[in-house]
Chain A
Amino acid sequence: MRKEAIAEGTAIQADAVLDAQGLYYRDLNERLYHLVEQGARSIVLKHIAGQRYIGTNLQAPVRLTIEGVPGNDLGAFMDGPEIYVMNDAQDGCGNTMNSGTIVIYGSAGDILGHSMRGGSIFVRGNVGYRVGIHMKEYGEMRPVIVIGGTAQHFLGEYMAGGVLIVLGSHLGPNQMHPSRYIGTGMHGGIIYIRGPFDERFLGKEVGLAPVQGEDLLLLERYVAQFAGYFGLDAASLLQGPFTKLYPRTKRPYGRLYAY
Chain B
Amino acid sequence: MALSLATSQFIIERDETRCIACQVCVRQCANDVHYYDEENDRVLSNDASCVGCHRCVTLCPTRALTVRRNPLEFRPNANWAAETLRNIYKQAETGGMLLTGMGCDQPYRIYWDHIVLNASQVTNPSIDPLREPMELRTYLGAKPERLALCGGAQRNPVLETVLAPQLQLEVPVMFSAMSYGSISFNACASLARAAQAAGTYYNTGEGGLHPALYEYGANTIAQVASGRFGVHLGYLNTAAALEIKIGQGAKPGIGGHLPGEKVSLDISRTRMIPEGADAISPAPHHDIYSIEDLRQLIYALKEATHYTKPVSVKVAAVHNIAPIVSGIVRAGADIVAIDGLRGGTGAAPTVVRNNVGIPIELALAAVDQRLREEGIRHRASIVVAGSIRSSADVVKAIALGADAVYIATAALVAMGCHLCQNCYTGKCNWGIATQDPYLTKRLNPEIGSRRLVNLLRAWSLEIKEMMGGMGVNAIESLRGNRDHLRGVGLNQVELDTLGIRAAGQ
Q: Tell me the A residues contacting B by CB distance below 8 Å.
A: 25-26, 29, 33, 52-53, 56-57, 59, 72-73, 76-77, 79, 91-92, 95-96, 98, 111, 114-115, 117, 130, 133-134, 136-138, 141, 157-158, 160-161, 185, 187-188, 250-259
Contacts of A76 in B (CB 8 A): 300, 303-304
Residue of B nearest to A55 (CB): B303
Contacts of B307 in A (CB 8 A): 26
Interface presence of B96 (CB below 8 A): yes
A212 to B299, CA, bound (A): 44
Per-residue A-contact encoding for B351-372, CB less than 8 Å = 1, 0 else:
0000000000000000000000
**Can you list 24 A-B pairs, Cβ within 8 angstroms, ordered by A?**
A52-B300, A72-B296, A73-B300, A77-B232, A77-B236, A77-B300, A91-B287, A92-B287, A96-B228, A114-B286, A134-B228, A136-B273, A138-B268, A158-B282, A158-B286, A160-B273, A161-B274, A185-B280, A250-B276, A250-B278, A254-B259, A257-B96, A258-B98, A259-B94
A151 to B208, CA, bound (A): 31
Interface presence of B48 (CB below 8 A): no
Are A52 and B299 interface neighbours, CB within 8 A?
Answer: yes
**Given A130-B286, A187-B280, A250-B278: A257 and B299 within 8 A (CB)?**
no
* Beyond A53-B303, A185-B282, 16 additional pairs, beta carbon < 8 A: A56-B304, A57-B303, A91-B287, A92-B296, A136-B273, A137-B273, A137-B274, A160-B273, A160-B280, A251-B278, A253-B280, A257-B96, A258-B91, A258-B98, A258-B99, A259-B425
Contacts of B90 in A (CB 8 A): 258
Q: Tell me the minimal C-beta distance from A57 to chain B in angstroms.
A: 6
Q: Tell me the minimal C-beta distance from B281 to chain A in angstroms.
A: 9
Out of B93, B96, B278, B286, name the residue touching A187 (CB < 8 Å).
B278
Contacts of A136 in B (CB 8 A): 272-273
Residue of B nearest to A154 (CB): B286
Contacts of A158 in B (CB 8 A): 280, 282, 286
Out of A33, A79, A115, A255, name the residue touching B228 (CB < 8 Å).
A115
Contacts of B282 in A (CB 8 A): 134, 158, 185
A96 to B297, CA, bound (A): 11
Contacts of B228 in A (CB 8 A): 96, 115, 117, 134
Out of A56, A98, A141, name the residue touching B300 (CB < 8 Å).
A56
Are B274 and A258 interface neighbours, CB within 8 A?
Answer: no
Of B93, B233, B305, the most chain A CB neighbours within 10 A belong to B233
Out of B259, B272, B296, B425, name the residue touching A138 (CB < 8 Å).
B272
Residue of A nearest to B231 (CB): A96
Are A117 and B232 interface neighbours, CB within 8 A?
Answer: yes
Contacts of B175 in A (CB 8 A): none
A12 to B424, CA, bound (A): 55
A36 to B300, CA, bound (A): 19
Interface presence of B257 (CB below 8 A): yes
Interface presence of B131 (CB below 8 A): no
